[in-house]
A and B are shown apart, each in its own frame.
Chain A
């Protein structure tokens, strides 16, 4: 493909990106690992000392850790469930011949562009508020007792907000995949006598399988680190009912100033994310060859 001349240029041109990313990856991670073995509290400067795995022991045996881990999994799983199933249905709907398809598409993807703090606050105040929220009004309209969403079903409410933000993403990607399906393949299946349902199961779904996997994996990466939505709606509460791992580490570090403990939590989060990342990377890597 190239001569040695262009190849040496190539190495030079890649250097800045590679170097910067390498530093960005390795320096904070190394420091976090280092801190995680220290007794290090910002309120007691100069008292740092090596404690071995004590921070990990504390973090992993803290009941809050298990609650946070559970919340993280519930939040991630719940949002995935809603966005993937909803995304498939929406993609199928938008793939039909409809009037004003362009506008419908624009409306559907809009929530993805709303910054997390805005969507969280709009939902919290204007929809979930038990007195003035739209939902409260709707409940009263049907004669029901208004629900105090973020107090009574806090985690579910946050799942709802985050799912609203990510549904456009999955819809858009699944729709793109759906539209790349060869029309002749569907017609061939129709000639073979396949009805709508069997065409969906045997032709459409397998065709979308890859896109679905990509949606799941990419969303998982982001969903494991949901932060702003929790910070501005519930601050992890009531109690720790909506505290996920990211928020727990944040609270430990910047609210309790326990750098050592928070670092141990950060490393635990990194390990969890890496398990997911491993599968995602293989998926994308396979695609590089194609």
Chain B
């Protein structure tokens, strides 16, 4: 239960090709995150899986059966929307019960499942409230509750945390991850935030202009980005990308060095530069260093570093952590 296969799936709106032909395999029980910049087609892809949009070509297979032509409700999928899409005129209880009611479940079964879901999501005290009386996080949980009572083969999440404030986002991230551990149901999660992707996913699908740039576990993507796009997208702060003679020295058109893979010294090193901004976070120090001939580089140094604007520093990349890319932007295998 919960395997989804996309074969040659494409989506065209009039003249605009949103998604060229694309294949993807999602295994049962996996937490898959679609990540990419806005407009990369990740939401469209999710909506194609949900059946809210028609595919222009290709097949969508859910649990071994061809679901391409099935209406959304018949696909046994549940979706949590960006705006939560709660029914404002119904109480929390009725919201959660709605899909069961539509499926014609008995009242006893509805009551049982609703209270079970409410218990899991800490909503028991709020069952009689209307959505507008709830906080953002609670609304989010109601939306999830509405999804889990159906016991779907897979959950679809469309940027579910983007309307929450930063602190709540971290909390909900954990709650969704825990939920996945409990239910072990396939989840497909769309986000533009690579931190969410890295922290939650079993498998990340990086999308760019409707194309899959790379599929892999978070650490695979972090260690071996297949191309410049993935290299620049995954990881925070962003990887430093250096071109020109310095890159040629490494036998590449472009080299990439993550800020955390730079060794700092105040006396010697490969690249001499001047600190423009030093951000002291306590646990880490982020340095923006202007290196003549290379440009602005970011370095992440563990702990507290008493450096200030104007100080001279030396940066040296860790040799085994330098990513090399050819003229086409593809990674050069070591």
Direct A–B touching, Cβ under 8 Å: yes
Residues of A within 8 A of B (CB): 3-5
A-side contacts of B71, CB under 8 Å: 5
A5 contact set on B, CB distance < 8 A: 71
Residues of B within 8 A of A3 (CB): 51-54
Closest to B13 in A: A1
Interface residues of B in 68-93 (CB under 8 A from A): 71
Q: Residue-by-residue, is B21-62 near A (CB-CB < 8 Å gives 1, otherwise 0)?
A: 000000000000000000000000000000111100000000
Please name all residues of chain A whose beta carbon is closer than 8 Å to the beta carbon of B53 when the two chains form the complex. Answer: 3
Interface of chain A, main secondary structure: helix
For chain B, what secondary structure do more than half of its interface residues adopt (helix, strand, loop), or is it mixed?
loop
Chain A to chain B: the 3 pairs with minimum beta-carbon distance, closest first? A3-B54, A4-B54, A3-B53
| B52 cross-chain contacts in A, Cβ below 8 A | 3
Residue of A nearest to B53 (CB): A3
Residues of A within 8 A of B51 (CB): 3
Q: How far is the CA of A5 from the CA of B52 in the complex (A)?
A: 11
Give Cα A3 to B68, complex, Å.
Answer: 12
Closest to A3 in B: B54
Question: 6 A-B contacts, Cβ less than 8 Å apart?
Answer: A3-B51, A3-B52, A3-B53, A3-B54, A4-B54, A5-B71
Q: Which residue of B lies closest to A7 (CB)?
A: B54
How far apart are the CA atoms of A9 and B51 in the complex, in Å?
17
Who on chain A is nearest to B51 by CB?
Answer: A3
Give the Cβ gap from B318 to chain A, nearest Cβ, in Å. Answer: 49
Q: How many angstroms from the CA of A97 to the CA of B52 in the assembled complex?
A: 50
Kindly report which residue of chain A lies nearest to residue B52, judged by CB atoms: A3
In the complex, which residues of chain A have a beta carbon less than 8 angstroms from the beta carbon of B54? 3-4
Least CB separation from A1: chain B residue: B53
Complex Cα–Cα for A4 and B71 (A):
11
A4 to B51, CA, bound (A): 11
Bound-state CA distance A5–B71 (Å) is 9
Residue ID in chain B nearest A4 by CB atoms: B54
Tell me the minimal C-beta distance from B77 to chain A in angstroms: 15
A3–B51 CA distance with the chains assembled, in angstroms: 8
How far does the Cβ of A208 sit from chain B's closest Cβ, in whole Å? 32
- Closest CB in chain A relative to B238 CB, distance in Å: 34
CA distance A52 to B94 in the complex (A): 69
Q: How far is the CA of A86 from the CA of B255 in the complex (A)?
A: 70
Report how far A135 CA is from B59 CA in the complex, Å: 82
Interchain nearest-CB distance for A5 vs B (Å): 7
Cα–Cα, bound, A5→B53 (Å): 10
Cα distance A4–B69 in the bound complex, in angstroms: 11
Closest CB of chain A to B206's CB: distance in Å?
26
A99, B51: Cα distance in complex, Å = 56
Q: Which residues of B contact A4 (CB under 8 A)?
A: 54
Q: Which A-chain residue is minimally distant from B54 (CB atoms)? A: A3
B44 to chain A, nearest CB (A): 11
Provide the bound-state CA to CA distance between A5 and B54, in Å: 9
Q: How far is the CA of A4 from the CA of B13 in the complex (A)?
A: 12
- The chain A residue with its CB closest to the CB of B72 is A3
CA distance A5 to B74 in the complex (A): 15
The CA-CA distance from A3 to B54 in the complex, in Å, is 6
> How many angstroms between the C-alpha atoms of A4 and B52 in the bound complex?
10
Report B57 CB to chain A, min CB distance, Å: 14
Alpha-carbon separation in the docked complex, A83 to B287 (Å): 64
**Minimum C-beta distance from A270 to chain B (A):** 37
- Closest-CB distance, A42 to chain B (whole angstroms): 54
CA distance in complex: A3, B70 (Å): 11
Distance to closest chain A CB from B144 (angstroms): 25
| Chain A proximity of B27: nearest CB distance (Å) | 28
A1, chain B: closest CB distance, angstroms = 8
Measured between alpha carbons, how far is A3 from B47 in the docked complex, in Å? 11
